[in-house]
Structure 1
Amino acid sequence: MNIAIGCDDAAVELKNTLAKHLESLGYEYTDYSQPAEDESNLYADVAARVAYSVAEHKHERGIIICGTGIGVSIMANKVPGIRAALCHDVFSAIRARKSNGAQIITMGARVIGSELAKTILENWLQADQIDPSSLPKVQRINEIEDSILSKSE
């Protein structure tokens, strides 16, 4: 599995820790933290780079980190087809995958420590399939999103 990862300036240390942890678990990743020449490095820009890379199927999943995880979650969820979940505990991370099919997890470097973040990340990566009972709910999310997008065309 290839992972997209990114952070703003508030979360560089945690992003580096999680990137090393991904390597130790055998995952490949691409770091979208640094802006291209014509982009800024505000958290919204980082989140957009990661979210679009996942939406365009360049990566199967994404991790975005800022100070709280809130802003990057909001931004990532603006990208059509993306379901990003802010997770600061293991149960939420697992349910983000199994109940909602979240392809992106967000975290706040000022909210949780690195050991908890690594544990949350591992559990989220291992939670592989949407529970059958949750599939109609995720399909309904997709239907509503498609409806919204068709109205804006």
Structure 2
Amino acid sequence: MNIAIGSDHGGFALKELLIKVLTERGETVADVGCFSAVSSDYPDFAEAVCRAVLDGTAERGILICGTGIGMAMAANRHRGIRAALCHDEYTARLSREHNNANVLCLGARVIGPGVAEGIVTVWLRAGFDGGRHCLRVAKFSN
């Protein structure tokens, strides 16, 4: 799977760890930045990940900041993006199965690396259930 990943300075260390994990699993990962822990603006990286998902360069995107809240807000302003802020594997799975989330947002200062790895694993493996969820997702996707 092609995955675009981005973070601000608050999510930089977790982004680097997840890139290593995903690459070792054989995923194709496009790192859109940031590239250091120097203060940066999260909307810039949300824009880059969303652009990659929307133009088909990436099948899914992952965004990381301190809490994940700013990234989710910045990502969800893009028509066609369904960004979900997840703190556990259950919400990650349901964000895919019920909401067809195409961008995962994580808070590096809220969850630890092990939890983050579990969330990403579940989120990438889960599929959209369709059915009764299609109409609901369509109401906020157009």
Q: TM-score, normalised by structure 1?
A: 0.86
Q: Which structure is larger by alpha-carbon Rg, 1 or 2? A: 1
Aligned-residue offset at 1:11:
1.2
Rounded to whole Å, the distance in 1 between the matches of 2:104 and 2:68 is 9
Q: Secondary structure at the match of 2:99?
A: coil
Rounded to whole Å, the distance in 1 between the matches of 2:121 and 2:132 is 23
Rounded to whole Å, the distance in 2 between the matches of 1:10 and 1:33 is 12
Q: Provide the identity percentage.
A: 42
Aligned residues of 1:9 and 1:66 also touching (Cα < 8 A): yes
Which residue matches 1:31? Answer: 31
What is the CA RMSD across the aligned residues, in angstroms? Answer: 1.5
Rounded to whole Å, the distance in 1 between the matches of 2:92 and 2:98 is 10
Aligned-residue offset at 1:131:
3.6
1:107-118 paired onto structure 2 within 5 Å: 107-118=106-117
2:106 partner letter: M
Aligned-residue offset at 1:130:
3.0
Q: Which runs of 5+ in 1 are unaligned?
A: 147-153
Which residue matches 2:17? Answer: 17
1:51-130 paired onto structure 2 within 5 Å: 51-130=50-129
Q: TM-score, normalised by structure 2?
A: 0.92
Aligned residues of 2:99 and 2:128 also touching (Cα < 8 A): no
Aligned residues of 1:33 and 1:41 also touching (Cα < 8 A): no
Rounded to whole Å, the distance in 2 between the matches of 1:133 and 1:79 is 24
Rounded to whole Å, the distance in 2 between the matches of 1:107 and 1:34 is 15
Aligned-residue offset at 1:117:
0.2
Q: Which runs of 5+ in 2 are unaligned?
A: none
Rounded to whole Å, the distance in 2 between the matches of 1:114 and 1:34 is 18
Which residue matches 1:150? Answer: none
